[in-house]
């Protein structure tokens, strides 16, 4: 069994508690208008656009397949910029032992791993097998998800993982559909389910001025979280245009005053841990 891995970050302090190795899997079931890493959404279709645009000849077409030559790559990301399919030629197929080998390099310096994406739960069977072996190393296992796949339908993985971090893009179903292409019903169900089993570490919402109903989103999401556990972390994140493609490229960055006001709304609903990022 192999996973499609976009990248592995050895040390991260923003993907859960402590110092963690963050593993980003390829493929996503959302198409968020403000996605800052759209190259993780789709699987390479071997169109070859990146081949002719790579200034360092680090990508070739061999037997009809795009072949990335890591040793020649200088990480200029020109291939990602020109990709018409929101993908990347730099994705690796890795088995559990290969990923474990990477994790073990950093084991003395980390408290656990966080698997993200893309949407990591699209490869949930692989995650279950990976988590079994990572737990034997004495490390914690976190999942970073958009919440669209029901945790109730993945009991083995849910039991194995220590906690989940989940995005709520919008509390309004129509707005959520416009923003992501999908309903938010399962997302809300997952929040309540994970809260009921004490496996909801953090919820995040991106703030986009004059585009989303930001105050309503923060208020209603905070109410839900406070009704479950007031100690759940709620991170409200400034929209930033870096990496964004499409109609939200020119959207505004929220002001400090706006973010502080939204934080006050969340605190007033009873939450204890509200973070601005």
pLDDT in tens, 17-47: 999 999 999 999 999 999 999 999 999 999 9
State CA 213 to chain mean position distance: 22
pLDDT band at 270 (very low <50, low <70, confident <90, very high): very high
Q: Which CATH superfamily is domain 2-38+92-276 in?
A: Aldolase class I (3.20.20.70)
Q: Residue 63: CB partners within 8 Å, gap ≥ 6? A: none
- Is residue 49 classed as helix, strand or coil in its secondary structure? helix
Give the CA distances from residue 234 to residues 25, 48, 82, 128, 274, in Å, rounded to whole numbers and listed in that order: 24, 41, 35, 26, 5
The CATH 3.20.20.70 domain(s) of the chain lie at 2-38+92-276
Q: Phi and psi for 188 in degrees, rounded to 5? A: -65, -40
**Is residue 264 predicted with pLDDT exceeding 90?**
yes
To the nearest whole number, what is the mean pLDDT of the chain? 97
Report, as an integer, the average pLDDT of 131-149.
98
Give the pLDDT score at 245. 86
**Is residue 170 predicted with pLDDT exceeding 90?**
yes
Give the pLDDT score at 12. 97
The CATH 3.30.70.20 domain(s) of the chain lie at 44-82
Yes or no: domain 44-82 corresponds to CATH 3.30.70.20: yes
- Using CA atoms, how far apart are residues 190 and 214, in angstroms rounded to an integer? 21
What stretches of 85-183 show up as alpha helix (H) in DSSP?
A: 96-106, 124-135, 155-160, 173-180
Report, as an integer, the average pLDDT of 44-70.
95
- pLDDT digit string, tens, across residues 218-248: 999 999 999 999 999 999 999 999 989 889 9
pTM of the entire structure?
0.94
Report, as an integer, the average pLDDT of 137-150.
98
- Using CA atoms, how far apart are residues 129 and 70, in angstroms rounded to an integer? 27
- Is residue 147 classed as helix, strand or coil in its secondary structure? coil
Give the pLDDT score at 47. 96
- pLDDT digit string, tens, across residues 85-138: 999 999 999 999 999 999 999 999 999 999 999 999 999 999 999 999 999 999
């Amino acid at each position: 069994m192999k996973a499609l891995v976009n990248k592995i970050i050895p040390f991260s302090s923003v993907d859960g508690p402590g110092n963690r190795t963050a593993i980003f899997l390829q493929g996503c079931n959302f198409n968020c208008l403000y996605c800052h890493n759209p190259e993780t959404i789709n699987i390479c279709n071997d169109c070859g656009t990146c081949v002719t645009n790579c200034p360092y000849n680090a990508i070739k077409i061999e037997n009809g397949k795009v072949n990335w030559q890591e040793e020649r790559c200088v990480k200029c990301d020109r291939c990602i910029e020109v990709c018409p399919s929101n993908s990347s030629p730099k994705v690796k197929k890795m088995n559990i032992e290969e990923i474990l080998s990477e994790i073990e390099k950093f084991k003395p310096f980390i408290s656990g791993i966080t698997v993200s994406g893309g949407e990591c739960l699209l490869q949930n069977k692989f995650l279950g097998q990976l988590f079994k072996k990572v737990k034997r190393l004495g490390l914690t296992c976190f999942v970073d998800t958009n919440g669209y796949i029901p945790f109730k339908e993945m009991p083995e993985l849910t039991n194995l993982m220590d906690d989940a971090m989940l995005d709520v893009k919008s509390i309004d179903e129509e707005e959520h559909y416009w923003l992501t292409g999908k309903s938010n019903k399962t997302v809300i169900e997952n929040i309540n389910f994970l809260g009921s089993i004490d496996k909801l570490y953090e919820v995040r919402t991106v703030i986009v001025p004059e585009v989303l109903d930001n105050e309503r989103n923060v208020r209603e999401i905070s109410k839900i979280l406070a009704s479950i556990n007031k100690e759940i972390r709620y991170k409200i994140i400034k929209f930033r245009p870096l990496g964004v493609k499409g109609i939200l490229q020119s959207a505004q960055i929220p002001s400090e005053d706006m973010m502080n006001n939204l934080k006050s709304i969340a605190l007033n609903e009873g939450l204890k841990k509200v973070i601005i990022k």
